Amino acid sequence: MSDARTAPAGAARTRSRPPPPMAMLAELTHRCPLACPYCSNPIDLTKASEELATEEWIGVFEQAADLGVLHLHLSGGEPAARRDLVELTRAAVSFGLYSNLITSGVGLTEERIYSLAEAGLDHIQLSIQGISPEGADRISGYKGGYDRKIAVAGWAIEAGIPLTLNAVCHRQNMDEIDAMIELAIRLKARRIEVATVQFHGWAERNKAALMPTREQVERATETITKAREKYKGILVIDYVPADYYSSYPKACMGGWGRVGLNVTPSGRVLPCHAAETIPGLSFETVRGAPLSEIWYESAAFNAYRGEDWMPELCRSCERKKVDFGGCRCQALALAGDAGATDPVCIRSPLRQHLTRETERYPATSSMGFIYRGR
């Protein structure tokens, strides 16, 4: 279980014990009927035969609760592809975890939703890809997906499960944000999360077709501001803006090894969903070590924890406790070094180059997507 990693220089210096994680994302499976072009799951997906068994997941949930995790996000792939989803939910709830199901809706029936409600599921986060069956199904690569989502939203509300809509926005649907918010109101969601696409995993392959334009991003910000005012007290609107057009990076994962952890379908424990792209890091598995040991002691979790790993630019910056130096996986993808300042930062020497490259993407909104497995 010793997945040794050459930690960045200085990473092991004066570090106090971190607080326990607040949230855990359990990627129950990578199986998924949809083929969203912005999928952040890795290019090589975990096979069904390698997935943790029911009892193994239940053991992980129990360990998570003991460690101090409060929120459990049941995700995938499509978590409804797991036949034991209701059983897993019931177990999570029995350990006192707040359970959130992150789903495309495909694979959920009315009966299954009521079983999840009876098992104590606290919340459903339902993805939407667009505002019409044609547009949404083209993006997700799954015919009939839109209609199923509308049905699932209705069943969730009837079963008394609070609903959030989750819309990943990109060049080909970003002008529909207004209508997506209207849809959330019609479906009686309490919240909508509008998140601009990130380029991890499969999404990287569709970057040219997904990258929004500066004008779209500005319009989106305006739309969100007006909608927040209009629907105050009725709908909560979360917005993750496009960091390629921002001055500062986002605090990815709330800081590496600081707030949350991800467990892959086969049980590898990651500080973020794209961490496996970072060369030199290796990850322990729940089959080989206790979750608490992985969180507190493993080389991967300690690699970019705290401030010791930071380049001087970040270490001497007043925002280091706001964004924690940005995203390590994005730094790797754009600067070739996971230990660099996130190139999205206006102080990064790479920022101007990034802006020029970003504005070079074509503005057309009909470019075809590359779909996984097709």
8 A C-beta contact, residue 189 and residue 164:
yes
Interacting span for ligand FES (CB under 6 A) from 9-17, 25-33, 226-234, 249-257: 249-257
H or E element, residue 56: helix 54-67
Could you tell me the smallest distance in angstroms from the CB atom of residue 207 to ligand FES? 15
Question: Tell me, what amino acid is at 86?
Answer: V
| Closer residue to ligand SF4 in complex, CB, 176/243 | 243
Question: Tell me, what amino acid is at 343?
Answer: P
Q: Does a cis peptide bond (omega within 30 degrees of 0) precede residue 145?
A: no
187 in contact with ligand FES (CB under 6 A): no
303 in contact with ligand FES (CB under 6 A): no
CA torsion sign for 362, 364, 365, 368 is: negative
C-alpha dist (Å) from residue 300 to 101, 104, 275: 27, 31, 9
In angstroms, the CA 102 to CA 27 distance is: 10
In angstroms, the CA 329 to CA 37 distance is: 19
8 A C-beta contact, residue 289 and residue 265:
no
Q: Record the tokens describing residue 15, joined without a space.
A: 């570090």
DSSP string, 284-296: -BTTTS-HHHHHH
123 in contact with ligand FES (CB under 6 A): no
- Per the annotation, does 32 bind a ligand? yes
Q: From the list ligand FES, ligand SF4, none, which binds 317 (C-beta under 5 to 8 Å, kind-based)?
A: ligand SF4
Q: From the list ligand FES, ligand SF4, none, which binds 252 (C-beta under 5 to 8 Å, kind-based)?
A: ligand FES
In angstroms, the CA 368 to CA 48 distance is: 29
305 in contact with ligand FES (CB under 6 A): no
Q: From the list ligand FES, ligand SF4, none, which binds 342 (C-beta under 5 to 8 Å, kind-based)?
A: ligand SF4
| Closer residue to ligand SF4 in complex, CB, 151/313 | 313
Could you tell me the smallest distance in angstroms from the CB atom of residue 210 to ligand FES? 16
3-state secondary structure 313-353: HHHCCCCHHHHCCCCHHHHHHHHCCCCCCCCCCCCCCCHHH
Q: From the list ligand SF4, ligand FES, none, which binds 274 (C-beta under 5 to 8 Å, kind-based)?
A: ligand FES
Could you tell me the smallest distance in angstroms from the CB atom of residue 274 to ligand SF4? 17
- Per the annotation, does 314 bind a ligand? no
Under the rule (CB under 6 A), what is the footprint of ligand SF4?
248-249, 313-314, 317, 319-320, 323, 325-326, 341-342, 345, 347
Q: From the list ligand FES, ligand SF4, none, which binds 253 (C-beta under 5 to 8 Å, kind-based)?
A: ligand FES
Interacting span for ligand FES (CB under 6 A) from 18-26, 47-55, 232-240, 269-277: 269-277
Q: Record the tokens describing residue 220, joined without a space.
A: 């989106």
Q: Count residues binding ligand FES (CB under 6 A).
A: 11
23 in contact with ligand FES (CB under 6 A): no
Could you tell me the smallest distance in angstroms from the CB atom of residue 353 to ligand FES? 20
8 A C-beta contact, residue 51 and residue 264:
no
Binding-site member from 200, 205, 258, 305 for ligand FES (CB under 6 A): 200
Angle between helical axes of 110-119 and 85-94 (0-180°, round to 10): 20
Binding-site member from 275, 294, 314, 317 for ligand FES (CB under 6 A): 275
- Per the annotation, does 252 bind a ligand? no
Q: Beta partners for 270?
A: 262
Q: Which residues are part of a known binding site for [4Fe-4S] cluster?
A: 32, 36, 39
List interacting residues with ligand FES (CB under 6 A): 200, 252-253, 256, 272, 274-275, 327-330
